[in-house]
Amino acid sequence: MKGENLTQVTEFILLGLSEDPGEQRLLFLLFLSMYLVTGLGNLLIILAIITDARLHTPMYFFLANLAFVDICFTTTTVPKTLVNHVTGHRGIPYAGCLTQTFFFIWFAGIDSFLLAAMAYDRYEAICHPLHYATSVTPQLCSLLVGASWFTAFGNALTHTVSLSRLSFCTHNKVPHFFCDLSPLLKLACSDTFLNNLMVNTVGTLTVIVPFVGILVSYSCIFGAVLRIPSRTGKQKAFSTCGSHLSVVSLFYGTLIGVYFSPTSSHTAQKDTVAAVMYTVVTPMMNPFIYSLRNKDMKGALRALVTRRPLFTQ
């Protein structure tokens, strides 16, 4: 083997979404707009929940945490993409790439666990309404959020440390707009069997297990709702779950499609488009989904924007 092939790369080149200058300008404006909408929308959700005493419930506590994580999740990838478009330099240092990978996996994992916690909250509220206040306590909510952060941190650290032990020789062009785990593993010139094994085992903890928990929760919820005699009661129960199910479908649909579908069906373009969906589009849509379908949230946002005091009837 030639000496140059033994040289560890010090920088990766992010190829982005397009090589065409015209498309790059359009993508820059699109990503900038979505990033600003994501930040502003989720920040308004957090402020509305903090300032409105009517929203100091477990469901909105989880939603405020989800909004904060979505801001962090998007900030992990989009600003670097915008800088690359402005400067024309697509390089990212080796250490910076590993750091971006770590935070991306961390916040994605937190999102996954929080969505599962929100499904459990809806399960208790609809299936056991009389015991809801005693079963879903502030202490339990804090414990679930803390466990989400801690477990996702361990998962991200495990993957990042394992990734740092790989050798990257002459190939340093990443067919993506950020340092994602999957395309980086394909660039490694050392054995990635252990890394791929960890993606399919440890990675399952933060994706499949919460997803199965959500499916089980909503199976019980649908069974309980169908037993409600009144049509109005059924519609009210389903309306409280519709927003959450929409977000779950967007997030898990693309995430599972990228990381748990057969590798033969993967292409760099398909994976990149799917990554845009769950890293940019889903965090941007969450504030709209949760606010437009929720009267209490719309009232709190209206009061926050107009700076009018809130009155409780």
**Max CA separation in the chain (angstroms):** 78
Residue 252: what pLDDT? 83
pLDDT at 5: 46
**Would strands 11-14 and 173-174 be described as parallel, antiparallel, or unpaired?**
parallel
Query: Has domain 9-306 been given CATH number 3.40.50.2300?
Result: no
pLDDT of residue 74: 95
For helices 58-87 and 138-164, what crossing angle results, to 10°?
30
The answer to whether residues 182 and 258 touch, using CB atoms and an 8 Å cutoff, is: yes
Average pLDDT for consecutive 10-residue bins of the chain (313 residues)? 56 86 87 95 93 91 95 95 88 95 95 94 91 94 97 94 90 90 90 89 84 92 84 72 80 72 62 82 86 76 71 44
What is the rounded (10 degree) CA torsion for 163, 168, 171, 174? 20
Q: Are 112 and 282 in contact (CB under 8 A)?
A: no
Residue 311: per-residue pLDDT? 46
Note whether 185 and 192 are within 8 A (CB). Answer: yes
Contact 62, 114 (CB under 8 A): yes
pTM (two decimals): 0.89
Spell out the residues 6+ positions from residue 257 whose beta carbon is closer than 8 angstroms to its own: 274
